């Protein structure tokens, strides 16, 4: 939802307008906006690095928050990466501190970084930054909380170093563990899974209740063909956050591939119940499980939903033939 920013909301931070063309792998737009809010044009100094920056960018296929966070740190900022709450979010806004949250993307985009710039108490809406003049986004609070929870309430707070006292006594859950996770994701990007696993192993202990960590641990293990660790990672991710969509989907894919169709069907169904719009392909996968369970009617419904959500799918004609076949039996 997009609206005019002309209102009397006292819980709103006015952020600088930053051209969307300034988004780049080395310094993502969301971090650029916040550092400019604090009075620093780090993006401009980053561009002055010339060839060194270009060499770094050539190694990165998409915007990585860790690159921008480390760049901001080198310019005197502190950053925290923690599991947030609605209470904490509103507290930061009222302190005049915009924050970044991670929410689900759609289809090919697995995640999306969003700047929270305010909230509306009466309407129960969360206000988000949009890089357009006189505009902001407004998300119903219940919808926002559901989507945020799917990414384990991942929250990023960036402040000038001289403001460190403002968070000194606050409990920022999973901060150190999450920082390791962001570092590991850097190596995921370059397919360096062994290095990513070495980083994650530093936090591999029974007292770690960080779902984000366990999900990445499971992903790395999967890339290294370690089924035992993959299952430990995904099951723990779901144990500590039953709404962790990506872990449910990954585990369902595993059981589909190992022909445990009952478990695959159960896990796909849980993921779809949490968010039916995130990946259209999940309906095709659940249909495969249901066909093997002889749930033909339900499988047809899933295949029809898959075509509806992914109308340009390369296998559309084959899916339509399969629907016809299932309906004729």
pLDDT in tens, 121-172: 999 999 999 988 778 899 999 999 999 999 999 999 999 999 999 998 899 9
Please measure the distance between the N-terminal and C-terminal CA atoms of the chain and give it in whole angstroms. Answer: 45
Span of 138-142, 179-183, 202-206, 252-256 with lowest mean pLDDT: 202-206
- Percent of the chain surpassing pLDDT 90: 74
Regarding pTM above 0.95, the answer is no
Question: 122 to each of 11, 92, 140, 141, 144, how far by Cα in Å?
Answer: 11, 18, 11, 11, 16
User: Mean pLDDT, to the nearest integer, of 97-110?
Assistant: 82
The angle formed by the CA atoms of residues 225, 66 and 229, to the nearest 5 degrees, is: 20
Domains observed in the chain? 2-173 (3.90.70.10), 177-236 (1.25.40), 242-329 (1.25.40.10)
The Cα 210–Cα 236 span in angstroms is 9
All residues at 6 or more sequence positions from 178 whose CB lies less than 8 Å from its CB, including other chains: 81, 82, 83, 154, 210, 212, 213
Burial class (CB in 10 A: 0-12, 13-18, 19+), 321: exposed
213-257 tens-digit pLDDT: 999 999 999 999 999 999 999 999 999 999 999 999 999 999 999
Q: What is the dihedral sign for C-alpha 97, 102, 105, 111?
A: positive
Phi, psi of 136 (to 5 degrees): -155, 165
The Cα 114–Cα 155 span in angstroms is 10
């Amino acid at each position: 939802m997009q609206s005019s920013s002309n209102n009397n909301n006292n819980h709103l931070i006015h952020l600088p307008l930053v051209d969307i063309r300034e988004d780049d792998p080395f310094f993502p737009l969301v971090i650029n906006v916040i550092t400019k809010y604090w009075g620093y044009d780090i993006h401009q100094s980053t561009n002055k690095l010339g060839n060194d920056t270009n060499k770094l960018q050539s190694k990165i296929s998409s915007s990585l928050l860790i690159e921008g966070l480390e760049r901001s740190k080198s310019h005197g900022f502190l950053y925290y990466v923690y599991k947030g709450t609605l209470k904490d979010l509103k507290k930061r806004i009222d302190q005049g501190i915009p924050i970044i949250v991670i929410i689900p993307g759609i289809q090919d985009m697995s995640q999306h970084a969003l700047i929270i710039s305010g909230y509306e108490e009466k309407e129960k809406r969360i206000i988000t930054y949009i890089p357009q003049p006189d505009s902001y986004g407004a998300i119903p609070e219940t919808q926002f909380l559901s989507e945020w929870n799917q990414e384990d309430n991942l929250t990023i707070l960036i402040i000038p170093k001289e403001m460190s006292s403002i968070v000194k006594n606050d409990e920022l859950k999973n901060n150190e563990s999450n920082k390791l996770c962001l570092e590991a994701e850097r190596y995921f990007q370059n397919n360096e899974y062994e290095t990513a696993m070495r980083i994650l192993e530093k936090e591999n202990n029974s007292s770690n209740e960080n779902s984000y960590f366990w999900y990445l641990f499971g992903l790395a293990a999967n890339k290294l063909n370690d089924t035992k660790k993959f299952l430990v990672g995904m099951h723990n991710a779901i144990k500590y956050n039953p709404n962790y969509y990506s872990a449910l989907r990954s585990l369902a894919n595993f059981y589909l591939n190992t022909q445990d169709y009952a478990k695959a069907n159960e896990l796909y169904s849980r993921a779809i119940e949490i968010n039916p719009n995130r990946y259209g392909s999940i309906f095709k996968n659940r249909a495969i499980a249901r066909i093997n369970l002889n749930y033909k009617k339900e499988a047809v419904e899933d295949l029809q939903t898959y075509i509806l959500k992914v109308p340009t799918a390369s296998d559309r004609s084959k899916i339509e033939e399969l629907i016809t076949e299932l309906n004729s039996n």
